[in-house]
Protein backbone atom coordinates (compact mmCIF):
# COMPACT_ATOMS: atom_id res chain seq x y z
CA UNK A 1 0.00 0.00 0.00
CA UNK A 2 1.62 3.32 -1.01
CA UNK A 3 2.29 5.83 1.73
CA UNK A 4 0.14 8.94 1.70
CA UNK A 5 1.77 12.36 1.39
CA UNK A 6 2.91 13.68 4.76
CA UNK A 7 0.71 16.78 4.48
CA UNK A 8 -2.37 14.61 3.97
CA UNK A 9 -1.54 12.45 6.98
CA UNK A 10 -1.00 15.45 9.25
CA UNK A 11 -4.19 17.11 8.06
CA UNK A 12 -6.24 13.96 8.59
CA UNK A 13 -4.84 13.42 12.08
CA UNK A 14 -5.49 17.05 13.03
CA UNK A 15 -9.13 16.77 11.97
CA UNK A 16 -9.53 13.56 13.98
CA UNK A 17 -7.87 14.85 17.13
CA UNK A 18 -9.73 18.17 17.09
CA UNK A 19 -13.16 16.66 16.41
CA UNK A 20 -15.46 17.17 19.40
CA UNK A 21 -16.72 14.08 21.16
CA UNK A 22 -19.87 14.05 23.24
CA UNK A 23 -18.85 11.70 26.03
CA UNK A 24 -22.21 11.97 27.71
CA UNK A 25 -20.45 12.39 31.04
CA UNK A 26 -18.32 14.97 32.77
CA UNK A 27 -16.50 12.34 34.76
CA UNK A 28 -15.55 8.68 34.56
CA UNK A 29 -15.09 5.68 36.84
CA UNK A 30 -12.04 5.87 39.10
CA UNK A 31 -11.87 2.65 41.15
CA UNK A 32 -9.89 2.61 44.37
CA UNK A 33 -9.04 0.17 47.11
CA UNK A 34 -10.84 -3.16 47.29
CA UNK A 35 -12.91 -4.07 44.23
CA UNK A 36 -14.29 -7.54 43.54
CA UNK A 37 -13.91 -8.46 39.89
CA UNK A 38 -13.74 -11.07 37.16
CA UNK A 39 -12.34 -11.22 33.63
CA UNK A 40 -14.08 -13.31 30.97
CA UNK A 41 -12.96 -13.31 27.33
CA UNK A 42 -14.04 -16.80 26.21
CA UNK A 43 -16.90 -19.24 26.67
CA UNK A 44 -18.40 -20.44 28.88
CA UNK A 45 -19.46 -17.10 30.34
CA UNK A 46 -21.14 -16.48 33.68
CA UNK A 47 -22.59 -12.98 33.92
CA UNK A 48 -24.35 -13.67 37.23
CA UNK A 49 -21.30 -13.57 39.46
CA UNK A 50 -21.49 -11.27 42.46
CA UNK A 51 -18.67 -8.92 41.53
CA UNK A 52 -18.33 -5.14 41.30
CA UNK A 53 -16.42 -5.13 38.00
CA UNK A 54 -16.51 -7.43 34.98
CA UNK A 55 -13.99 -7.22 32.12
CA UNK A 56 -15.39 -8.49 28.77
CA UNK A 57 -14.41 -8.55 25.10
CA UNK A 58 -15.44 -5.42 23.19
CA UNK A 59 -16.49 -7.18 20.00
CA UNK A 60 -18.05 -10.33 21.48
CA UNK A 61 -20.19 -8.64 24.14
CA UNK A 62 -23.63 -7.34 23.24
CA UNK A 63 -25.22 -4.14 24.45
CA UNK A 64 -27.90 -6.18 26.22
CA UNK A 65 -25.30 -7.92 28.37
CA UNK A 66 -23.67 -4.61 29.29
CA UNK A 67 -27.03 -3.04 30.12
CA UNK A 68 -28.07 -5.98 32.30
CA UNK A 69 -24.82 -5.85 34.24
CA UNK A 70 -25.04 -2.10 34.75
CA UNK A 71 -28.63 -2.42 35.97
CA UNK A 72 -27.21 -4.52 38.82
CA UNK A 73 -24.57 -1.92 39.61
CA UNK A 74 -21.69 -3.81 37.98
CA UNK A 75 -18.99 -1.67 36.34
CA UNK A 76 -18.22 -2.99 32.86
CA UNK A 77 -14.84 -2.91 31.12
CA UNK A 78 -14.28 -3.52 27.42
CA UNK A 79 -11.18 -5.47 26.44
CA UNK A 80 -9.50 -4.49 23.18
CA UNK A 81 -6.03 -4.87 21.78
CA UNK A 82 -4.47 -1.47 21.13
CA UNK A 83 -0.95 -2.63 20.32
CA UNK A 84 -1.55 -5.68 18.17
CA UNK A 85 -3.45 -6.61 15.01
CA UNK A 86 -5.85 -9.55 15.24
CA UNK A 87 -6.76 -11.30 11.99
CA UNK A 88 -10.23 -12.34 13.17
CA UNK A 89 -11.56 -8.89 14.09
CA UNK A 90 -14.20 -7.23 11.93
CA UNK A 91 -11.97 -4.23 11.25
CA UNK A 92 -8.77 -6.20 10.52
CA UNK A 93 -8.69 -5.28 6.82
CA UNK A 94 -8.71 -1.57 7.65
CA UNK A 95 -5.19 -1.64 9.13
CA UNK A 96 -2.53 -0.61 6.55
CA UNK A 97 0.10 -3.25 5.85
CA UNK A 98 2.94 -0.94 6.86
CA UNK A 99 1.61 -0.81 10.43
CA UNK A 100 1.54 -4.61 10.88
CA UNK A 101 4.72 -6.19 12.19
CA UNK A 102 5.99 -9.53 13.43
CA UNK A 103 3.83 -12.35 14.72
CA UNK A 104 2.91 -12.22 18.39
CA UNK A 105 4.59 -15.34 19.73
CA UNK A 106 2.14 -17.86 21.16
CA UNK A 107 -0.97 -16.20 19.74
CA UNK A 108 -1.80 -17.40 16.19
CA UNK A 109 -3.30 -14.77 13.91
CA UNK A 110 -2.00 -11.89 16.00
CA UNK A 111 0.77 -9.47 14.98
CA UNK A 112 2.34 -6.41 16.57
CA UNK A 113 1.41 -2.89 15.46
CA UNK A 114 3.71 0.05 14.83
CA UNK A 115 2.45 2.25 17.64
CA UNK A 116 4.64 5.11 16.40
CA UNK A 117 2.08 5.59 13.62
CA UNK A 118 -0.58 7.31 15.69
CA UNK A 119 -1.42 9.29 12.55
CA UNK A 120 -2.69 6.12 10.87
CA UNK A 121 -3.93 4.18 13.91
CA UNK A 122 -5.88 7.02 15.53
CA UNK A 123 -9.10 6.67 13.49
CA UNK A 124 -9.06 2.86 13.78
CA UNK A 125 -8.50 2.72 17.52
CA UNK A 126 -10.84 5.68 17.90
CA UNK A 127 -13.60 3.66 16.24
CA UNK A 128 -13.05 0.89 18.79
CA UNK A 129 -13.27 3.33 21.67
CA UNK A 130 -16.45 4.75 20.14
CA UNK A 131 -17.91 1.23 20.01
CA UNK A 132 -16.94 0.68 23.64
CA UNK A 133 -18.78 3.85 24.59
CA UNK A 134 -21.79 3.10 22.36
CA UNK A 135 -22.26 -0.33 23.94
CA UNK A 136 -22.44 1.29 27.36
CA UNK A 137 -19.15 0.15 28.88
CA UNK A 138 -17.72 2.20 31.73
CA UNK A 139 -14.06 1.57 31.00
CA UNK A 140 -11.52 0.18 28.58
CA UNK A 141 -8.73 -2.34 29.10
CA UNK A 142 -6.21 -1.83 26.26
CA UNK A 143 -3.98 -4.85 25.73
CA UNK A 144 -0.44 -5.06 24.39
CA UNK A 145 0.64 -1.55 25.28
CA UNK A 146 4.17 -2.64 26.18
CA UNK A 147 5.32 -3.53 22.66
CA UNK A 148 8.61 -1.71 23.10
CA UNK A 149 9.79 -4.60 25.31
CA UNK A 150 9.03 -7.18 22.58
CA UNK A 151 10.35 -8.19 19.16
CA UNK A 152 7.70 -6.37 17.16
CA UNK A 153 9.58 -5.84 13.91
CA UNK A 154 9.72 -2.10 14.61
CA UNK A 155 12.41 -0.13 16.50
CA UNK A 156 10.03 0.98 19.23
CA UNK A 157 11.52 2.97 22.09
CA UNK A 158 10.29 3.53 25.63
CA UNK A 159 9.50 7.10 24.60
CA UNK A 160 7.38 5.84 21.69
CA UNK A 161 5.39 3.70 24.11
CA UNK A 162 4.89 6.51 26.62
CA UNK A 163 3.65 8.78 23.84
CA UNK A 164 1.21 6.18 22.50
CA UNK A 165 -0.07 5.19 25.93
CA UNK A 166 -0.70 8.78 26.97
CA UNK A 167 -2.49 9.45 23.70
CA UNK A 168 -4.64 6.35 24.29
CA UNK A 169 -5.55 7.43 27.83
CA UNK A 170 -6.49 10.89 26.61
CA UNK A 171 -8.71 9.45 23.88
CA UNK A 172 -10.53 7.24 26.40
CA UNK A 173 -11.09 10.20 28.70
CA UNK A 174 -12.37 12.34 25.81
CA UNK A 175 -15.18 9.79 25.57
CA UNK A 176 -15.86 9.68 29.29
CA UNK A 177 -14.29 6.22 29.57
CA UNK A 178 -12.12 5.09 32.45
CA UNK A 179 -8.90 3.37 31.32
CA UNK A 180 -6.48 0.93 32.93
CA UNK A 181 -2.77 0.46 32.37
CA UNK A 182 -2.33 -3.14 31.24
CA UNK A 183 0.98 -4.61 32.45
CA UNK A 184 3.87 -2.28 31.34
CA UNK A 185 5.32 -2.25 34.88
CA UNK A 186 8.53 -0.42 33.93
CA UNK A 187 6.47 2.62 32.93
CA UNK A 188 3.96 2.51 35.78
CA UNK A 189 5.55 5.44 37.59
CA UNK A 190 5.54 7.59 34.45
CA UNK A 191 1.94 6.73 33.55
CA UNK A 192 0.19 6.52 36.92
CA UNK A 193 -1.21 10.02 36.58
CA UNK A 194 -2.57 9.34 33.08
CA UNK A 195 -4.40 6.06 33.81
CA UNK A 196 -7.21 5.46 36.31
CA UNK A 197 -6.29 1.95 37.46
CA UNK A 198 -3.98 -0.90 36.50
CA UNK A 199 -4.37 -4.55 35.50
CA UNK A 200 -1.52 -7.04 35.72
CA UNK A 201 -0.96 -10.63 34.61
CA UNK A 202 1.39 -13.03 36.43
CA UNK A 203 2.90 -10.27 38.57
CA UNK A 204 2.95 -12.47 41.68
CA UNK A 205 4.21 -15.50 39.78
CA UNK A 206 6.97 -13.38 38.20
CA UNK A 207 7.67 -11.18 41.22
CA UNK A 208 7.00 -7.66 39.94
CA UNK A 209 3.76 -6.61 41.64
CA UNK A 210 5.53 -3.99 43.74
CA UNK A 211 6.22 -2.02 40.56
CA UNK A 212 2.54 -1.06 40.60
CA UNK A 213 3.07 0.89 43.82
CA UNK A 214 2.70 4.24 41.98
CA UNK A 215 -0.97 3.38 41.41
CA UNK A 216 -1.54 2.10 44.93
CA UNK A 217 0.08 5.16 46.52
CA UNK A 218 -2.28 7.37 44.52
CA UNK A 219 -5.28 5.42 45.77
CA UNK A 220 -5.89 3.82 42.37
CA UNK A 221 -7.08 0.22 42.20
CA UNK A 222 -4.72 -2.49 40.94
CA UNK A 223 -6.21 -5.71 39.57
CA UNK A 224 -4.02 -8.81 39.35
CA UNK A 225 -4.79 -11.98 37.38
CA UNK A 226 -2.68 -15.03 38.19
CA UNK A 227 -2.90 -18.16 36.04
CA UNK A 228 -3.20 -21.81 36.93
CA UNK A 229 -0.69 -22.88 34.25
CA UNK A 230 2.16 -21.34 36.27
CA UNK A 231 1.43 -23.63 39.21
CA UNK A 232 0.67 -20.74 41.52
CA UNK A 233 -2.15 -21.11 44.05
CA UNK A 234 -4.22 -18.76 46.19
CA UNK A 235 -2.13 -19.77 49.20
CA UNK A 236 0.99 -18.53 47.42
CA UNK A 237 -0.18 -15.01 46.59
CA UNK A 238 -3.25 -13.94 48.58
CA UNK A 239 -1.30 -12.81 51.65
CA UNK A 240 1.01 -10.73 49.44
CA UNK A 241 -1.96 -9.26 47.62
CA UNK A 242 -3.58 -8.31 50.94
CA UNK A 243 -0.40 -6.64 52.15
CA UNK A 244 0.02 -4.64 48.93
CA UNK A 245 -3.65 -3.73 48.57
CA UNK A 246 -4.00 -5.54 45.22
CA UNK A 247 -7.25 -7.14 44.00
CA UNK A 248 -5.95 -10.56 42.96
CA UNK A 249 -7.76 -13.53 41.41
CA UNK A 250 -6.77 -16.90 39.98
CA UNK A 251 -7.86 -17.68 36.39
CA UNK A 252 -7.29 -20.20 33.63
CA UNK A 253 -5.22 -18.75 30.78
CA UNK A 254 -8.16 -18.90 28.35
CA UNK A 255 -10.07 -16.49 30.63
CA UNK A 256 -13.39 -18.28 30.70
CA UNK A 257 -15.81 -18.02 33.63
CA UNK A 258 -13.72 -20.13 36.01
CA UNK A 259 -12.29 -17.96 38.77
CA UNK A 260 -11.05 -18.24 42.32
CA UNK A 261 -10.71 -15.17 44.50
CA UNK A 262 -8.73 -14.49 47.63
CA UNK A 263 -10.72 -14.82 50.87
**DSSP assignment of 27-73:** ------S---EEEE-SSSP-TT---SEEEEETTT--HHHHHHHHHTT
Assigned CATH class of 35-261:
alpha beta
**Taking residues 55-71, what's their average pLDDT?**
98
Residue 26 pLDDT class (50, 70, 90 cuts): low
Mean pLDDT over all residues of the chain? 92
- Domain assignments of the chain as residue spans, ordered by start: 35-261
**Percent of all residues in the chain with a pLDDT value above 70, rounded to a whole number:** 90
8 A C-beta contact, residue 213 and residue 190: no
pLDDT at 154: 98
140 pairs with which residues across the strands?
Answer: 78, 179
8 A C-beta contact, residue 186 and residue 213: no
Terminal Cα distance for the chain, rounded: 54
- pLDDT above 60: residue 20: no
CA distance 1 to 261: 48
pLDDT at 189: 98
Rounded to whole angstroms, what are the CA distances from 212 to 26, 31, 89, 207, 215?
27, 15, 31, 11, 6
Amino acid sequence: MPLRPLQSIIAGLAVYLLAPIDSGASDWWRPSGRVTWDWQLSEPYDFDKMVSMLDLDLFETGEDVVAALKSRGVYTVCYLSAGSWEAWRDDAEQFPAETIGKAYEGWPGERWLDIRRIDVLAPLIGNRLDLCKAKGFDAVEPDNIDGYTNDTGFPLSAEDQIRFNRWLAAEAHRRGLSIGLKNDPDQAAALADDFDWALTEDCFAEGWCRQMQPFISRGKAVFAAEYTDTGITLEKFCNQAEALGVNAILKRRELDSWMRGCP
